[in-house]
Structure 1
């Protein structure tokens, strides 16, 4: 069964949320898992692409936007079909991925921004309705 986790941040900062996504992407990639980092829109995908170049100066995370290289170890995209199944989905969008079944692990990153909290609560309920057992993880 898929592992679905909601990583909960104590702040409402969008920057901290994106940084947490990059840290989790790095951890999964180092564990040898393909990663799909799903942004909420094209602008956020571009920002994540830039952040992955700079968030840790001492390390490199091989990544690409989906439309440039869909088979990169860490792919940044929206609702595209993942090229590498059984990887990790890090979802920064308010909605569930249409390809959630293709991933062995799904991570939703929750911060304390009211709109984000409401969307994540809805996603949590939807996962349960689909028969999953989502877990909460405090960061």
Structure 2
């Protein structure tokens, strides 16, 4: 089963996802970002390009011809873990959907970022319950103090 990390209290869920992805990308880890909401995925794509003037995080859609050479993949389809790049670290899943990502158990680790919005918190509680019932290892982190 996967380790599922919930980061609760994010001031801005998508911006914090950008920060998390930058941290892991710089550490050499590949990531798959999932949401079935194609509009949210497009917003996140634009945000990832411009959330920081000095950051560059190469990313493409998972079905792009360059996906095999790109560390961060975005998908609205069932996420599939790619092979690690050049014998590197196993890719992790970043779930930006309000539901559990299909096939989460195929990933070593799943990152869930939760804002303070009531709808987001309620959806996260349901995902927590489902992951727990699925036998995953759950971990909670309070990120409300981060800018």
- State TM-score, norm by structure 2: 0.83
> Which position in structure 1 is the counterpart of 2:32?
36
**Alpha-carbon distance in 1 for matches of 2:80, 2:67:** 7
What displacement does 1:121 show? 0.4
Post-superposition Cα deviations, 1:65-88, rounded to whole Å, max 9, x if no partner, equal 223243321011123342515411
Residue 65 (str. 1) matches residue 69 (str. 2)? no
Partner Cα separation in structure 2 for residue 56 and residue 21 of structure 1: 13
Deviation readout 1:17-58 (Å, 9 max, x if unpaired): 100011111111112111011124111111111111111111
2:19 to 20, 23, 42: 23
Q: Is residue 127 from structure 1 mapped to residue 142 from structure 2 by the alignment?
A: no
Deviations 1:79-124 (A, max 9, x none): 3342515411111101111121221111111112122111110110
Structure 1, unaligned stretches of length 5 or more? none
Counterpart-to-counterpart distance in 1, 2:82 and 2:25: 13
* d(CA) in 1 for partners of 2:7, 2:74: 19
- The total of aligned residue pairs comes to 135
Calculate the aligned-residue CA RMSD, in Å: 1.7
Matched, 1:5 2:5: yes
Call closer, same or farther: CA 1:26–1:10 in 2, change over 3 Å: closer
Aligned partner of 1:47 in structure 2 is 43
Is the contact made by 1:91 and 1:97 (CA closer than 8 Å) also made in structure 2? yes
Distance 2:134 2:106 in 1: 15
CA contact (8 A) 2:32 2:81 kept: no
Alignment check: 8 A CA contact 1:45 1:65 kept: no
Secondary structure of the residue aligned to 1:36 is: strand
